[in-house]
Amino acid sequence: MRTLPQAPPLRSGQFAFIGPAAGELAIETTILRQGKSTLFVGVDLVGEQGLATRAILTFGAARESLVSHSDLPCPAVLKPDDCEPFFPKGGGPGFGGQFEVRIAGGARPLSGQPPEYLLWIRHRDPAARSVAALVALADTPPPPAMTLFPKFGPISTMTWSLDIVGLPAEDDEGWRLLRSTAETIGDGYSTQGMMLWDAAGRPLIAARQNVAVFV
């Protein structure tokens, strides 16, 4: 987006996490096709060990349309102030310190309960309001497959696809409700569906992820 500041709004992205993102990193951007209202961009993240991540980003200008429909209802949950922290104090992944995460339903890792999270999340930095910041929130928690882990073990995201279906109001408090559900777990992999809503219940992001699990 810094390379193409005049691009229309981001509508979707597909990401393949190919190898380790180690050492000094470089981002390479390529315009794949530009039409009257859409722009397709390829982005590679390259590290010392070669290609780390490959993405295809789709940007699209708004158009007038005669049809409108949405069937992504937001679950009824307690407000964030009434929910407990998801990560234990002093625990969780290192990057978790950048976010406030509170459990609104579902389960916790290693709980043995059905593999679903329902979480309130927001950036601790109130200035984090960009589309990139919104995308980061959609991938904050660990995979819900971890609720069934008998012990902690490594995981690795293989692919991630997302569609941006709405944007939050600029004057809200930054809280987003995330539901992440493991639909299949087997043969060392898990597929999961993810949804993100704003505090008013408006859908923001619909996503899918394939994760390698090593337990």
Q: Assess whether 153 and 110 both reside in one domain.
A: yes
Q: Assess whether 145 and 197 both reside in one domain.
A: yes
CATH of the domain at 107: 3.10.129.10
Residue 73 is assigned to a structural domain of this protein: no
Residue-range definition of the domain harbouring residue 206: 78-215
Residue 156 is assigned to a structural domain of this protein: yes
Query: What are 106's strand-pairing partners?
Result: 117
Question: What are the average pLDDT values for consecutive 10-residue runs of the chain, which has 215 residues?
Answer: 92 96 95 96 96 97 94 96 88 80 96 97 92 92 95 94 94 94 97 97 97 95
The span from the CA of 13 to the CA of 5, in Å, is 17
Supply φ then ψ for residue 98, to 5 degrees.
-80, -10
Q: What is the pLDDT of residue 89?
A: 76
Q: Assess whether 117 and 44 both reside in one domain.
A: no
Residue 66 is assigned to a structural domain of this protein: no
Q: Assess whether 109 and 196 both reside in one domain.
A: yes
